[in-house]
Amino acid sequence: MTKYRAGIIGLGRISSTIDDEVIGHPRVALPYAHMACLREVPEIEVVAGADGYQEQRDAFSTRWGVDNLYADYREMLAKERLDYVTIATPAKPRHDIFMDCVNAGVKAIYAEKPISLSLADADEMVAAARAKGIVVGVGCTRRWDPYWQMIRAQIENGELGDLLQVNVMGSAGISHNGSHMIDLIRFLVDDDVAWVFGESESDELAASDDDHQVNGYLAFRGGVRSFIRTWSSGASDWSVEVVGTRGTIRAFADGLETDWIERSGRSDYAKRFIPRPQRINAPGVNAIYDLMACIESGGKPACSGDDAVKALEIAIALRESHRAGGKRIDLPLADRSLLIRSAEVLRGDLPVAIQRRQAAAS
pLDDT at 7: 98
pLDDT tens, per residue, the chain with 362 residues: 689 999 999 999 999 999 999 998 888 899 999 999 999 999 999 999 999 999 999 999 999 999 999 999 999 999 999 999 999 999 999 999 999 999 999 999 999 999 999 999 999 999 999 999 999 999 999 999 999 999 999 999 999 999 999 999 999 999 999 999 999 999 999 999 999 999 999 999 999 999 999 999 999 999 999 999 999 999 899 999 999 999 999 999 888 889 999 987 667 778 887 777 777 899 999 999 999 999 999 999 999 999 999 999 999 999 999 999 999 999 999 999 999 999 999 988 888 888 888 888 87
Pair 176, 343: CB distance under 8 Å: yes
Q: Which amino acid is at 144?
A: W
pLDDT at 247: 95
Give the CA diameter of the chain.
68
Give the separation between CA 164 and CA 272, rounded to whole angstroms.
19
273 CB-contact burial (10 Å; exposed 0-12 / middle 13-18 / buried 19+): exposed
Residue ranges per structural domain of the chain: 4-142+282-304, 145-272
Q: Which amino acid is at 76?
A: M
Give the separation between CA 25 and CA 282, rounded to whole angstroms.
13
With H, G, I as helix, E, B as strand and everything else as coil, classify residue 120: helix
Give residue-wise pLDDT tens across range 159-171. 999 999 999 999 9
SS3 content of the chain, % helix, strand, coil (to 5): 40, 25, 35
Pair 76, 84: CB distance under 8 Å: no
Q: Strand 163-169 vs strand 239-244: parallel, antiparallel, or unpaired?
A: antiparallel
pLDDT at 25: 86
pLDDT at 358: 81
Q: Which CATH class is domain 145-272?
A: alpha beta
pLDDT at 353: 80
pLDDT at 256: 84
Q: What angle do CA 105, 110, 115 make, to 5 degrees?
A: 105
Give every CB contact of residue 281 below 8 A, 6+ residues apart in sequence. Answer: 29, 40, 146, 289
| pTM (2 d.p.) | 0.96
Q: Strand 84-87 vs strand 108-111: parallel, antiparallel, or unpaired?
A: parallel
pLDDT at 1: 64
Give residue-wise pLDDT tens across range 83-97. 999 999 999 999 999
Give the separation between CA 294 and CA 257, rounded to whole angstroms.
33
pLDDT at 275: 73
DSSP state letters, 16-47: IITHHHHTT-TT-PSP-SHHHHHHT-TTEEEE
Query: Which CATH architecture best describes the domain 4-142+282-304?
Result: 3-Layer(aba) Sandwich (3.40)
Q: How far is CA 51 from CA 6, 87, 108, in A?
A: 15, 11, 20
